[in-house]
Structure 1
Amino acid sequence: MSPDSSRPTEQHPVAVGDRITVNVDRPAHGGEGIAYLPDGRIVFVRGGIPGDVLRVEITKVKKRFTAARIIDVVQSSPHRVPQRCAAAARGAGCCDYGHVDPAAEDALKRAVLLDQLHRIGRLSDEDIPEVESIALEPVSGWRTRVRLGVDATGHAGTRIAGSHELLSIACMQALPGMLEGVVGPGAGRFTPGAELIVAVDSTGDRHVVESRRAARGRRTEAIQRTLEGSGVCTEKIGGHTYHLPATAFWQAHKEAPATFTAIVRSWLTDALSSDTDAVPSAPGAPVGWDLYGGAGLFAPALLDALRETSGYSDSSVISVEQSAMAGECGRSALADLPVEFRTGEVDAEVPQLPAPRAVVLDPPRTGAGADTVSAIAGARPSAVIHVGCDPATFARDIAAWSASGFRLARLAVIGAFPGTHHLEAFGLLVPDHG
């Protein structure tokens, strides 16, 4: 088959390097579009969106699917717009939905989540409640924390997708003015090979620090050098003030902390108030579990729901987090509340905890896993809020909840990462008494 062939056949299947024209049918997890070959195999096209007609080059061929990159947009989807991010337009891996009309993002992400719940979660339409959509504004200039690489010449920049190369161009996600003097014209020089963290806290102070570059998927909390600010961010939410190192985890979108805590408080209050079948797991004031709790962002909202629905002012929360530093930050911020912080792995701590009335868990991108879900479910909480930032692992965890006797009562997709394929999913799970 020649590189310019446009219609592969079963007698002449596609090979790496072939160029064909495809119609994108639906979105896939990871910022790709799904098209089909005449032989029925799926083609995953990075950057493709439903409605696109694309000229693509095959980059990978497997037995059941192929992958391709866009050579030319033959006919644009009605949802395609010019790339809104200057860095992504030059190949950076930051805004992989920057070419999608912001008004269309929610539908694409909702479709991806539902697909994962059907295929990986093995849920039927009847098992999935109506999806609630919550968009966070603004859709650009929303990110309060940015991690950048530093090249051999000391220039900081955003990494090119699939590469270690850097672009000294500011991403549209960053708060306005956040990267001035850091990236682009007039930028300073930094330690070659370092990771540069820029954070703007809720007081408006900017902190610029260097840390060692972490392995992929890991986070480095140690600050090697503070270049601007104190290096300690002040975050105020719900009457509480958190002091965290700039390297620590905090929700990236400036509106996310308030939105997320409001959902936890509202959903749990509603669920616990209507739980007429609840059997107290232990006498006295109820306990809540805040698992993978970080600095305890969700703990006050969980505590409010327990107090409001039980009538016990001495309700309490136990927060479990692997990072000792995050636990210390939370312990200081919530010193006036009955919140106990425990440092350790959730799997190891759960069997030692008193039975909960309600649970909030916000596991890392890899998810909680079936064993952890089973252990939590075995404690028979009346309501659980499961938070996931990856639709595939979220769906896998929801399948584990289903296998453990819980049903999905509410589901929301939150647009906490505008301009990217990432989403935040919130699921409310309750015991399936039916």
Structure 2
Amino acid sequence: MPQEKPAPAVGEQHTLRITRMAHGGEGIGTLDGRVVFVRGAYPGDEVSVELRQVKKNFARGEIVDIVTPSPSRVPQRCPATAAGAGCTDFGDLDPTKEAPLKKEILADQLARMARGVSLPPIEVIDLAPADGWRTRVRLGVDAEGRAGFRAARSNEIITGYPSSQIPEELCADILCPDGRRFQPGSELIIAGDSEGQRHIVESKKSGRGKRVERVEDVIEGSGIAVQRVLGRTFHVPATAFWQAHRNAAGCYSGLIRTWLYEEIEDLELHGERPVAWDLYGGVGLFVPVLGDSLGEDAHIDSVELSRAARHEQPDLADYDVTFHSTSVEKAIPGLERPDVVVLDPPRTGAGAQVISAVASAGPGLVIHIGCDPATFARDVRQWSEEGYQALRLTLVNAFPGTHHFEVLGLFARTQDDSR
């Protein structure tokens, strides 16, 4: 009787061929029928890995050597990542191969999490530029007052190296060997805006007995970034959420406008005027596109205005909009029934509770924005179970040089509204 081959063990080295990518940016190979996840590996790579974790059905390994590089592999373009920072994990992937690879990742997640759901083809928008695209960045400050990026999967701060994601004018005097010094142990939030201004907020731990955990001081600029999107101006605190890629806000707004214009004629209203919900709305980025698409008599409820974003927005004064500084879950029961809903939830997704609540209100059209392919795919299945058909799916490569991307989905109600 042949002796059974022993299972792989932590610390062993093995050579693997990477065949596909996993959600989260890890390459996938196999070892004795067991899936092995390898960070930093791409399809087509042959790599020697040291096993760091071994479970019954999978393992994780760390690259020891790239035996044969993938045709998609190129020299690392990000100096900070080359020095150990975790900012640009796809910086050694050919930029022309990045969006197609992310499309495969999304398709795999949809096949797993939304199996059996009828879906349209995945469209792709590859945002340019691929380098120098960030509007804002968060940096750590080491014990000597030098600012930098945190190392991959570590709190160590890598200083003295620029990132390919950051425009030179945003951090050139900070991310250099003799860069500007700051309060040791603090964090910096640095934001650039459409007027070419830079805003720096230094965030420090407060002393014992203080009511707040951190104290934030504006040490450069006004602390309010002026952002222009499709002819509208937004005033965004440097610490508030704003789209990372400088062209993302315009891309999403334009895509939403196009989809609504295509579908608006067939939309049946619940009442005499159109009503829209802008969920997880932040500073109200999508208020103009909703108002312009639905007409001057439209009412918009924008929910989850962040505390940091409570700033006057003069360009929204022309719209009938009510901002709700509470959670989506708490706000929905008190809102007027919507005809259109746009929701842009955090990485954890909207989830069954929110989707069920939205579906119960019966909007004819829903536009769902997701920044995590797994939770987005899970939410797609939930929309299907609530009686909504996906009409469009668009992947936006809004984080070039990283494994992250965004997905926008357009859903239409297919079941009769008897509620």
Query: Do they fold alike, i.e. is TM over 0.5?
Result: yes
Structure 2 residue aligned with 1:93, among 86, 106, 113?
Answer: 86
1:149 aligns with 2:132: no
Corresponding residue number in structure 1 for 2:26: 32
Percent identity of equivalent pairs:
49
1:186 aligned partner: 178
What is the number of residues matched between the two proteins? 408
Question: How far apart are the structure 2 equivalents of 1:289 and 1:330?
Answer: 20
Give the SS at the match of 2:169: coil
- Which of 72, 76, 96 aligns to 2:65? It is 72
Give the SS at the match of 2:393: strand
Question: Is 1:116 matched up with 2:125?
Answer: no
Structure 2 unaligned residues grouped into runs of 5+: 207-211
Paired residue secondary structure (1:224)? strand
Check if 1:432 corresponds to 2:414: yes
Q: Distance in 1 between matches of 2:308 and 2:87?
A: 28
TM-score, normalised by the number of residues in structure 2? 0.94
- Equivalents in 2 of 1:290, 1:344: separation in Å? 13
Larger deviation: 171-180 or 9-18? 9-18
Task: Give the distance between the partners of 2:301 and 2:234, measured in 1 at CA.
Answer: 18
Distance 1:173 1:10, change over 3 A: farther
Partner residue, 2:153: 162
Cross-structure match for 2:298: 315
1:177 aligned to 2:200? Answer: no
The equivalences for 1:217-236 within 5 A come to 224-236=216-228
Task: Name the residue aligned to 2:128.
Answer: 137
Q: In structure 1, how many angstroms separate the alpha carbons of the residues matched to 2:99 and 2:311?
A: 34
Instruction: Say whether 1:281 aligns with 2:281.
Output: no
Instruction: Indicate the SS of the match to 1:91.
Output: coil
What are the residue-to-residue correspondences of 1:284-433 with 2, within 5 Å? 284-307=272-295, 313-326=296-309, 328-329=310-311, 331-433=313-415
Q: Report the Cα offset of residue 332 of structure 1.
A: 4.4
Hey, what's the Cα distance between the residues in 2 that align with 1:113 and 1:10?
37
Aligned to 1:243, which of 230, 235, 244? 235
Shift of 1:85: 0.6
**Secondary structure in structure 1 of the residue aligned to 2:170:** coil
Flag the 1:336–1:10 CA change in 2: closer, same or farther, 3 A.
farther
* TM-score, structure 1 as length reference: 0.90
- 1:224 to partner: Cα distance: 1.9
CA RMSD in angstroms comes to 1.9
Unaligned segments of structure 1, at least 5 residues: 1-8, 215-219, 308-312
Judge conservation of contact 2:268–2:339 (CA < 8 Å) in 1: no
Q: Which amino acid aligns with 2:318?
A: D
Residues 21-48 of structure 1 deviation map (CA, whole Å, 9 limit, x = unaligned): 001111111110111112x110001011
Name the CA distance, whole Å, in 1 between partners of 2:298 and 2:224. Answer: 31
Q: State the Cα distance separating 1:324 from its structure 2 match.
A: 3.2
> 1:194, 1:134 → 2: CA distance?
37
Deviation at 1:355, TM superposition (A): 0.9
In structure 2, what is the equivalent of residue 41 of structure 1? 34
Cα offsets for 1:155-180 (capped at 9, x unmatched): 11100011110111111100122112
Task: Specify the SS of the correspondent of 1:329.
Answer: coil
Letter in 2 for 1:237: V
- CA distance in 2 between counterparts of 1:221 and 1:184 reads 30
